[in-house]
A and B are shown apart, each in its own frame.
Chain A
Amino acid sequence: MGSAWSVRVAVGALAIVAAGCFQPVGPARTFHDYELKAESTAKSARSSVETARLAVQVATDGDAFPPYVSVLLAEAESDASNSQGTFLGIQPPDKHSDRLRDRLGRLLEQTGNVLSTLRITARRADLQQLKGQAARLPALSKRLDRFATEHE
């Protein structure tokens, strides 16, 4: 009796902990839900863009080693790509959401392209090339920030 109770308690506790650990991306049933997810995706993509901007700055100023810059840019690209994949995988609930999806989708694609180029260049340890390739990052960051603010 005692041990069966202990097992039940242990299984229950594990289930609660597991429920807390998993962060599933739920469906968006209304435009508002969808907008919240879009806002969070834009913020996350902006974080990747800003990380990449700083990485390029320390690289071109000679303040960082090529392997470190390469890791930073690869992770920034991977994060942006994950955010994009997750957001585009959510079913937009209405026509209004379709327009939101298109707008953010374009921004995310442009972000992904720039970050990919930067990652490829950094892997070749050609750090001085990064500055020119990163020229679009400030504008992308601003647009993502504006998007997130508009949909707060």
Chain B
Amino acid sequence: MKRLVGVMLGVLTAIGGFMDIGDIVANSATGARFGMSLAWAVLLGTVGIVVYAEMAGRVAAVSGRPTFDLVRERLGARMAIVNLAASFFINLLTLTAEVAGVAIALQLATDVNYLLWLPLTALLVWLVIWRVRFTLMENVFGLMGLAMIVMAIAVWQLHPDWSQLWHGASHPVVPSGEGHATYFYYAIALFGAAMTPYEVFFFSSGAVEEHWTRSDLSENRANVFIGFPLGAFLSLSLMALATLVLFPRGISVDHLSQAALPVSLSLGKIGLALIIVGFFAATFGAALETGLSAGYTISQYFGWQWGKRNRPRDASRFHLVVLVSIGVAMLVALTAVDPVKVTEYSIVLSAAALPLTYFPILVVANDPDFMGDKVNGRFGNAIGSIYLVILVVVSLATIPLMIITKAGA
């Protein structure tokens, strides 16, 4: 019974923790601009993250070692430093966007400018990482993130023409007035948002932090195979809301506030309060994950003592990297750089660097020296390999599309 409760809690946390500011911005902006015609990109990204997060979790549970630890061993120090530099930069950009997202959620509730909330937000993120137990931290923000289920209820309350929504999603076309390059640029943004590398760093390092063993593999599968797709359902609900409310009015999503507008219209003050809580939880949870991921990646590469479970005096360099990263993210956000633009760049640049993160996982998940009898099966390898090709294509197309479309302008 206790085990079942643990699995359920894990699944609920995975649903609530699936979304972050990248998913919120990308799904709302694409729904407002392209309707449901890019739903396939969310599904494509979700299957990808499910396949690779399961692998990363399994590798961590069986070998007791997280992703970045293995990247260096398998790719060699030189190649791994390139991987580290790219991943760390993108993670820092994502952390900046998440910290700003928390501050904006507070602004939506108070009308106090988000720049004033930034120092307090950064302090809170650091305090939670420093003082709160790993499991408690994960569960509280994951469960709070479930408030975003209000988006699905809001879609239902708008009484949409379901067949039209389904038709838009199942017969994707580029809307008139939009170019193919822009359409695919946004498809990459959605794909990148679903497959953000930090999710894997955090997932695999978290599994080691929580001392996962082979007996936790069923929990790993439940989190990934049930929790993530249900989280993706929330992403699609947000896209549907933007399709129903913002798209017909020609509203382009440039601010987080606009993403909440359809919920307010559909469900009133209660819905609005819940969606703001959901935004807060999703961005705060992701800020914790990206803050920790900054420490994980660097420490695992250099072989330092790492982990939230270790006290600062025992893993001083790990905690210092986390603290400095949060500080830098706050300072960048304080320059008043547009948080939505930072988010867009972080998810698109993530897409450009995806093979660097996912290729080593596929290699290690096939290595019997690490995995014993838990190596990938044929089916897992087939899907993993297909996805690797997709990741390479996406990564090669990202920067040219970014330049051609002037970042989707």
Contacts and interface: CB of A to CB of B under 8 A. Distances in A.
- Name the residue in B85, B245, B257, B276 with the highest tally of chain A Cβ atoms < 10 Å from its Cβ: B257
- Name the residue in A19, A57, A65, A145 with the highest tally of chain B Cβ atoms < 10 Å from its Cβ: A65
A23 B345 CA distance: 12
A57 B265 contact: yes
A106 B186 CA distance: 33
Contacts, number: 90
Interface in B214-236: none
B409 A50 contact: no
Interface string A45-83: 011001101110110011111111011100100010000
B399 A20 contact: yes
Interface in A87-119: none
Interface stretch (B35-43, B107-115, B295-303): B107-115
A145 B269 CA distance: 31
B392 interface: no
A16 interface: yes
Contacts of A66: 111
Contact of B399 (A17, A67, A123): A17
Interface residues of A, number: 34
B139 interface: no
A68 B407 contact: no
A23 B258 contact: no
Contact of B111 (A16, A20, A53, A70): A70
A51 B111 contact: no
Contact of B269 (A21, A62, A70, A75): A62
B268 to A, nearest CB: 4
B265 A58 contact: yes
Contact of A62 (B110, B255, B268, B349): B268
B251 A51 contact: yes
Nearest to A66: B111
Given A47-B250, A62-B268, A71 B257 contact: yes
Contacts of A47: 250-252, 254
A152 interface: yes
Secondary structure call for the A interface: helix
Nearest to B255: A75
Contacts of B349: 17
Interface string B254-275: 1101101100110111001100
A51 B261 contact: yes
Contact of A63 (B109, B110, B254, B265): B265
A53 to B, nearest CB: 8
Nearest to A82: B254
Secondary structure call for the B interface: helix
Contacts of B402: 17, 20-21
A54 B245 contact: yes
Contacts of A75: 254-255, 257-258
Given A20-B407, A21-B345, A23-B406, A71 B264 contact: no
B254 A79 contact: yes
B171 interface: no
A46 B32 CA distance: 14
Contacts of A55: 261
Given A51-B258, A68-B260, A152-B177, A19 B403 contact: yes
Contact of B272 (A57, A64, A123): A64
Given A23-B407, A50-B251, A63 B245 contact: no
B23 to A, nearest CB: 21
A64 B111 contact: no
A23 B409 contact: yes
Contacts of B110: 67
A68 B399 contact: no
A65 B406 contact: no
Given A23-B406, A65-B272, A16 B399 contact: yes
Contacts of A50: 249-251
Contacts of B109: 65, 67-68
Contact of B252 (A44, A64, A145): A44
Contacts of B272: 58, 63-65, 68
Interface of A: 10, 16-17, 19-21, 23, 43-44, 46-47, 50-51, 53-55, 57-58, 61-68, 70-72, 75, 79, 123, 145, 152
What are the 3 closest A-B residue pairs judged by CB atoms, nearest first? A20-B402, A67-B111, A63-B268
23 contacts: A16-B399, A17-B402, A20-B402, A20-B407, A23-B409, A43-B250, A47-B254, A50-B250, A53-B249, A54-B245, A57-B265, A58-B264, A58-B265, A58-B268, A61-B268, A62-B268, A63-B265, A63-B268, A63-B272, A68-B272, A68-B276, A145-B250, A152-B177
Given A68-B260, A71-B257, 19 more contacts: A10-B85, A19-B403, A20-B403, A21-B402, A23-B409, A47-B250, A47-B251, A47-B254, A50-B251, A54-B249, A58-B268, A63-B264, A65-B109, A65-B272, A68-B109, A68-B264, A72-B258, A75-B258, A123-B111
